[in-house]
């Protein structure tokens, strides 16, 4: 036996004497870092969203002194490219190859469905910091799957009432043809038609296509009272500019789930002025919590935070709640899950709690673009919970 092996053997013997097993002691295990896998888009139309989520998560960690539940964090990263076809392989790289304890991601609902499938198969602790895929906390809900963002149904659902209150009785909905767009339409349609509104036409483009011209021409000829949309990231910036260039701004009011105007105001200039949206965050939320967060984020990253940064930040806060409850023993998954289920997150968006399906119960704000800010006008719906249709945990 070499000296190295002998020393290791004796060390192992001491561990057996202390614990009765060959497994490392709890103290030894807790000395190791908790492995967090970040599966996010770092390229393509959602690249900035991925960066903001990672920044937010890292800010929460820094504010907790670089440790969650007393354990340092080691990051493993994969660019998911917002490509659903690569989702299972990318998730498995983090889970099987890197052996992450926690899988954090992603932005795109199609990619999310692949991640949720793998999370259900492997049982890995999974935190969703953006993608709104309704099924993740609906029919595909699971004890190990948590979300710190929203369902696609949530932000646009209260918009219907707002439009009808203003006498905007007909609308065209335009979006990308994939889960997030279709489910966002579903949320809006449910609220709007219940309130008596009529959708004249549902328009779709393939994701992430930004050739809006022909559809904008058609909208002009349909003459709806309002246009409602789901777009986000680089595609949202292009849509807002094209809407104004087509001469529709000021003629037909444009609304949407708030992703339309989040994180892109610097890129669009005046074209976004006055656009109203509903979302679970607004730059101008007038609380000390939000102001402190915005200042810390801007100082650290030399960027203004947006809803994606908040969701990443809250993913960090949530993980800290879970790990603190088990004193950093991430292997105690039942303990982590129990604590995360009972979490009350003091977020820059306002305090939110976790629904039985593991999705935030949260206020939805009506916001209006004023200069470079998504200014909060009112609370459009207090403590809105997703209906979580099909979730067996509810």
- Structural contact between residues 152 and 179, judged by C-beta atoms closer than 8 angstroms: yes
Other CB atoms closer than 10 Å to residue 365's CB: what's the count?
A: 26
Nearest-CB residue for ligand BEZ: 180
3-state SS assignment for residue 341: helix
Nearer residue to ligand BEZ within complex by CB, 30 or 109? 109
Smallest separation (angstroms) from ligand BEZ to the CB of 106: 8
Smallest separation (angstroms) from ligand BEZ to the CB of 334: 29
Nearer residue to ligand BEZ within complex by CB, 39 or 336? 39
β-sheet with 67-68: strand ranges across: 67-68, 71-79, 34-40, 102-104, 125-128, 145-147
Nearer residue to ligand BEZ within complex by CB, 180 or 285? 180
Nearer residue to ligand BEZ within complex by CB, 30 or 112? 112
Which residue bears the tokens 């809407």?
243
Nearer residue to ligand BEZ within complex by CB, 71 or 147? 147
Q: How far apart are CA 14 and CA 8, in angstroms?
A: 10
Smallest separation (angstroms) from ligand BEZ to the CB of 348: 18
Q: How far apart are CA 211 and CA 340, in angstroms?
A: 42
User: What does the block give as tokens for 133?
Assistant: 């895929």
Smallest separation (angstroms) from ligand BEZ to the CB of 37: 19
Nearer residue to ligand BEZ within complex by CB, 150 or 293? 150
Nearer residue to ligand BEZ within complex by CB, 232 or 272? 232
Alpha carbon 273 to chain centroid distance?
25
Smallest separation (angstroms) from ligand BEZ to the CB of 189: 17
Give the DSSP H or E segment for 78.
Answer: strand 71-79
User: What does the block give as tokens for 374?
Assistant: 């998504």
Smallest separation (angstroms) from ligand BEZ to the CB of 6: 55
Q: Which residues are at the interface with ligand BEZ (CB under 6 A)? A: 107-109, 130-133, 152, 180, 232, 259
Do you find a cis peptide bond into 106, omega within 30 degrees of 0?
yes
Dihedral of the alpha carbons of 366, 137, 113, 116, in degrees to the nearest 10: 130
Smallest separation (angstroms) from ligand BEZ to the CB of 181: 8
Handedness of CA 218, 220, 224, 229 (dihedral sign): positive
């Amino acid at each position: 036996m070499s000296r190295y092996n002998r020393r290791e053997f004796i060390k192992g013997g001491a561990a057996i004497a202390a614990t009765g097993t060959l497994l490392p002691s709890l103290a030894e295990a807790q000395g190791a870092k908790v492995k967090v896998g970040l599966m996010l888009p770092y390229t393509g139309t959602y690249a900035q969203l991925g960066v903001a989520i990672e920044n937010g998560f890292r800010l929460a960690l820094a504010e907790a002194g670089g440790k969650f539940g007393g354990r340092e964090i080691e990051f493993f990263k994969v660019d998911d490219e917002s490509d659903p076809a690569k989702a299972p392989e990318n998730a498995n790289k983090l889970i099987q190859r890197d052996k992450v304890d926690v899988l954090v991601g992603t932005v795109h609902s199609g990619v999310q469905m692949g991640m949720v499938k793998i999370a259900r198969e492997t049982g890995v602790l999974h935190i969703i910091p953006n993608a709104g895929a309704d099924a993740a906390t609906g029919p595909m809900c699971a004890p190990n799957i948590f979300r710190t963002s929203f369902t696609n149904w949530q932000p646009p659902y209260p918009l219907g009432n707002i439009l009808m209150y203003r006498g905007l009785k007909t609308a065209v909905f335009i979006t990308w043809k994939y889960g997030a767009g279709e489910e966002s339409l579903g949320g809006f349609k449910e609220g709007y038609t219940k309130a008596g509104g009529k959708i004249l036409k549902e328009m779709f483009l393939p994701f992430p296509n930004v050739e809006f011209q022909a559809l904008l021409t058609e909208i002009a000829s349909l003459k709806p009272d309002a246009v409602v949309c789901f777009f986000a990231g680089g595609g949202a910036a292009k849509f807002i500019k094209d809407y104004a260039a087509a001469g529709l701004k000021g003629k037909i009011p444009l609304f949407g789930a708030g992703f339309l105007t989040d994180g892109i105001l610097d890129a669009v200039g005046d074209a976004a002025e006055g656009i109203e949206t509903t979302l679970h965050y607004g730059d101008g939320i007038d609380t000390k919590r939000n102001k402190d967060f915005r200042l810390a984020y801007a100082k650290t990253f030399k960027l203004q935070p947006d809803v994606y940064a908040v969701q990443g930040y809250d993913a960090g806060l949530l993980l800290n709640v879970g790990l603190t409850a088990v004193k950093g023993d991430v292997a105690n998954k039942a303990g982590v899950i129990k604590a995360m289920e009972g979490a009350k997150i003091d977020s820059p968006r306002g305090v939110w709690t976790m629904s039985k399906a593991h999705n935030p119960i949260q206020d939805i704000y009506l916001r209006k673009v004023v200069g470079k800010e998504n200014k909060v006008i009112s609370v459009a719906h207090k403590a809105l919970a997703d209906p979580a249709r099909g979730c067996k945990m509810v």
